[in-house]
Amino acid sequence: MQVKLGLQSYSLKKMPYEKAVEEIAGLGLSYVEAFSGHLPPKQESVPRSEALYEKYNVKLLSHGVNAMHSNREELTGLFDFAKAAGVQVLTADPDPKCLDLLEELVDSYGIAVAIHNHGPAHRYGTIDSIADAVQGRNELMGMCLDTGHLANSGEDITEAARRLGSRIHGLHLRDVDRGNKEVVLGTGKLDFSSMLLQIEESGVLGRIPVILEIELDPDNPIPGIRKSLTNVRSLFGHIRE
């Protein structure tokens, strides 16, 4: 099975965006999830993104994490950007008050909104909080499963994959040790194989962004990212990009 394996550009946040994309290409990856500090979600960013794709063959697959408020003009502008840029998934932290409007826009644009789970104190820190937010709504409204943050909330990443099923619209892969400190992916406590199998059984693994987000050393990020990527490819050796 082919997967859309990429890097969250926040992992390279101290670099200019073009340098980050160049490094992503050098890692042998073909996809990026950009954050707003690198690529603001505005129409004027679209030609820049297209030019970088032509130069480095790294496709903008998803964008976020985007704060979303109950403002039709603001949200419509975000979806207009996503459509023009070819973004498949908007990774999101939506105000609960805007979920009805989001569902309307998701239905109209055909672009998924993946609610990103944050740490324990966040409104979307748990499996239940995201499952409740999207229950009964358009199937394109779902979860971006951040493995490290979910572990820090004391919850199980495989259970999240089971509960959300086909509503898993993106992954942020990171690993933590027993003390919930980030470590090279594949060397910590998380059972990625079990989670992956569950997502595969849900039938979405081949289409969702599978994004590494590694923040081990912001001043020298590439070695930790490279080790993590090697381990991901080994752990999931039955998957081909």
Residue 199 CA to residue 188 CA, distance in Å, equals: 20
Query: According to the model, what pLDDT value does residue 238 have?
Result: 52
Q: β-strands 182-183, 209-212: how paired?
A: unpaired
pLDDT at 9 over 90: yes
Give the domains, in start order, of the chain with CATH numbers: 4-235 (3.20.20.150)
What average pLDDT does this structure show over 102-117? 98
Give the tokens for residue 188.
Answer: 């910590």
Residues 6 or more apart in contact with residue 40 via CB below 8 angstroms: none
pLDDT-derived band of residue 235, with 50, 70 and 90 as boundaries?
confident
pLDDT at 240 over 70: no
The 3-state DSSP class for residue 151 equals helix
pLDDT in tens, 64-99: 999 999 999 999 999 999 999 999 999 999 999 999
pLDDT at 241 over 70: no
What average pLDDT does this structure show over 136-151? 98
Contact 239, 4 (CB under 8 A): no
What average pLDDT does this structure show over 137-160? 97
Q: β-strands 175-176, 182-183: how paired?
A: antiparallel
Share of the chain above pLDDT 90, in %: 95
Chain Cα centroid distance, residue 206: 14
Residue 234 CA to residue 224 CA, distance in Å, equals: 15
Owner of token pair 């082919």: 2
Query: According to the model, what pLDDT value does residue 11 have?
Result: 98
Share of the chain above pLDDT 70, in %: 98
Query: According to the model, what pLDDT value does residue 234 have?
Result: 87
User: 74-78, 87-91, 120-124, 162-166 — which is least confidently predicted?
Assistant: 120-124
What average pLDDT does this structure show over 32-58? 98
The pTM is what? Answer: 0.96
pLDDT at 37 over 90: yes
Average pLDDT, the chain: 96
pLDDT at 116 over 70: yes
Vertex 177: Cα angle to 202 and 64 (nearest 5):
55
Following DSSP, what letter does each residue of 25-45 receive, concatenated?
Answer: HHTT--EEEE-TTTS-SSGGG
pLDDT at 211 over 70: yes
